[in-house]
Amino acid sequence: MVLPKCRYISVVFFAFVVLLINNGVEAFHKVYPHLQSVSTISVSGQHRTAYHFQPPKNWINDPNGPMYYKGIYHLFYQYNPKGSVWGNIVWAHSVSKDLINWRSLEHALYPSKPFDKFGCWSGSATIVPGKGPVILYTGVVDDKQTQVQCYAIPEDLNDPLLQKWVKPDKFNPILVANKGVNGSAFRDPTTAWLSKDGHWKILVGSRKNLTGIAYLYRSKDFMNWVQAKHPIHSKGATGMWECPDFYPVLLRGNAGLETSEEGNHVKYVFKNSLDITRFDYYTVGTYFKDKDRYVPDNTSEDGWGGLRYDYGNFYASKSFFDPSKNRRILWGWANESDTKEDDVRKGWAGIQAIPRTVWLDSTGRQLVQWPVEELNNLRGKEVNMNSQKLQMGDYVEVKGITAAQADVEVTFSFASLDKAETYDPKWVNAQDLCALKGSKLQGGVGPFGLLTLASQNFEEFTPVFFRIFKGPDKHVVLLCSDARSSSLKSSMYKPSFAGFVDVDLATKRKLSLRSLIDHSVVESFGEGGKTNILSRVYPQLAVANQAQLFVFNNGTEPISVENLKAWSMNPADIK
Ligand code: DQQ
């Protein structure tokens, strides 16, 4: 879809304003020099998560270099060891046998060399046959934030925990910005893939003015890298492309593929994290290997209006292939939505979303994501609801579980779509539409869904719900995760996050929803993981055993809760 002219102009204008506010320096993370090293004295537990990954204290952001090595999952992440706002960035390192329970190790990378003196920023891991894991990361060399790409290798390949990492002087930094490449917007190398022509290839995110760019580099020995004549992909008016990710997916089936796999059974996914919007966008397309160019399919809009991994708070994500279960797994960072002052008071900021298995939908138009199956091992007490009718205005409580720390799977059905409201083609922005038509506004088919983290008298609640419209050719399905009433506290970001769901209701009159509720996060998967939304929320009343969970319907068409299963979740063991 091409952006209408007025929208294009406003996008460019907005992008300029953003860049100007940042004095032309990249927007990446807001810098609060006075708070960067304010050490954490105490950690507030009220909104800490029980089963989403977070370290005991301080700031975290992007997941880095996830991999599976000798029976162990490794997660590295951007971390401020000195405080709970962004700054003093190192690669923290945690290990796990099941992606859910984690043990932290010493920091893997921290500024120690001239080429990373001002920060060890994001990057990826590649398991190089015959060599073992190699980390590629961005080193910041000066206070002007000049960026170069560096590598690190394990000190002991026999240690499955990979506890010590070294940054050899030979070949480091492996990449500096060539003439014509913006050296302060040159970062986040991808996992490498090995082409049939014997070259390793990686991408590095960048921008030239407002054009987002992913440069491609080739190497025969993984150490000497040469920039390809043209980028693998670029797009005007999208700004800096942070944390690009590029990987093959099976055309049919949900198994994952190793990053170097190629052939006719494969499509490609190209993801970038748009610094201007702070959302992760992807396209599905074709990789022309002889030319080293990626072209999105015409069913995948490229840019601001395109597909997102998640229509909520989910950024700087990174995927990896897990050979032990033949799947591709996606990690993403969920930032806080409260204020910096709150974060300093809390003594922590940032969580990782639950790792998600990712594969290509049978339509070929989009990805599907689902929480890794290991999460189910935390499920405790279970309650069920079957064939529960919901008339307009009905709220039925799901009792008997810990509603602030739960996993809920539900299928809703409806007999007819006749009452669906008419869709106005002007409603292209799902989040605005969700704000316009909240969970309490009576509809035709919907709003219906889950009311999570609700306080006793509904002073606070976070609804996750569907609303169905009659479009010109087919029905339009909206999924909302609306944080506007999530907290009585006013000074924070409470967005009405929403996305459209690509589903054909002509053949089935059902929609499914799964929500992972974990104190300050509601992470939802619509229609089996086609449209996903993570919201960060900070209830003041709907906390611990004061929180309640409901199913509800505010549409005139009766809704049936065909089947609901909800579990109290046990805490993960994260040390
Ligand atoms: N975070 C890192 C950068 C990356 C950004 C710095 C994305 O490498 O571009 O902490 O959140």
Per-residue model confidence (pLDDT) at position 15: 46
Q: Which tens digits make up the pLDDT trace of 452-463? A: 999 999 999 999
Q: Please indicate, yes or no, whether residues 179 and 123 belong to a single structural domain of this protein.
A: yes
Question: Is 518's C-beta closer than 6 angstroms to any atom of ligand 1?
Answer: no
Q: Which tens digits make up the pLDDT trace of 32-87? A: 888 887 777 667 788 999 999 999 999 999 999 999 999 999 999 999 999 999 99
- Supply the range of the domain harboring residue 494: 378-569
Distance 242 CA to ligand 1 centre (A): 7
Q: In whole angstroms, what is the distance from residue 565 CA to residue 560 CA?
A: 14
Q: What angle do CA 569, 450, 50 make, to 5 degrees?
A: 25
In sequence order, what are the residues at sequence separation of 6 or more whose Cβ sits closer than 8 angstroms to the Cβ of residue 291?
none
In sequence order, what are the residues at sequence separation of 6 or more whose Cβ sits closer than 8 angstroms to the Cβ of residue 358?
249, 256, 319, 328, 329, 330, 367, 368, 369
Q: Please indicate, yes or no, whether residues 362 and 429 belong to a single structural domain of this protein.
A: no
Low-confidence ranges of the chain (pLDDT < 50): 1-26
Question: Is 47's C-beta closer than 6 angstroms to any atom of ligand 1?
Answer: no
Distance 27 CA to ligand 1 centre (A): 10
Per-residue model confidence (pLDDT) at position 114: 98
What DSSP character marks residue 47? T
Q: In whole angstroms, what is the distance from residue 73 CA to residue 94 CA?
A: 8
Per-residue model confidence (pLDDT) at position 32: 82
Q: Please indicate, yes or no, whether residues 354 and 386 belong to a single structural domain of this protein.
A: no
pTM attached to this predicted model: 0.95
Identify the domain boundary among 371, 401, 424.
Answer: 371
Q: In whole angstroms, what is the distance from residue 64 CA to residue 124 CA?
A: 6
| Nearest protein CA to atom 5 of ligand 1, as residue | 28
Q: Please indicate, yes or no, whether residues 439 and 340 belong to a single structural domain of this protein.
A: no
For a mutational test of ligand 1's pocket, the pick from 188, 204, 281, i.e. the residue with the most ligand atoms closer than 8 A to its C-beta, is 188
Domain assignment present for residue 58? The answer is no
* The ligand 1 atom nearest the CA atom of 121: 8
- For residue 74 the two structure tokens come to 């490794």
CATH number for the domain that contains residue 336:
2.115.10.20
Per-residue model confidence (pLDDT) at position 41: 67
| Nearest protein CA to atom 9 of ligand 1, as residue | 242
Maximum Cα–Cα distance across the chain: 70
Domain assignment present for residue 247? The answer is yes
Identify the domain boundary among 343, 371, 399.
Answer: 371
Q: Please indicate, yes or no, whether residues 275 and 419 belong to a single structural domain of this protein.
A: no
Give the total number of structural domains in the chain: 2
| Nearest protein CA to atom 10 of ligand 1, as residue | 121
Domain assignment present for residue 55? The answer is no
Question: Is 274's C-beta closer than 6 angstroms to any atom of ligand 1?
Answer: no
Per-residue model confidence (pLDDT) at position 134: 98
CATH number for the domain that contains residue 554:
2.60.120.560
For a mutational test of ligand 1's pocket, the pick from 22, 32, 242, 314, i.e. the residue with the most ligand atoms closer than 8 A to its C-beta, is 242
For a mutational test of ligand 1's pocket, the pick from 59, 147, 184, 187, i.e. the residue with the most ligand atoms closer than 8 A to its C-beta, is 187
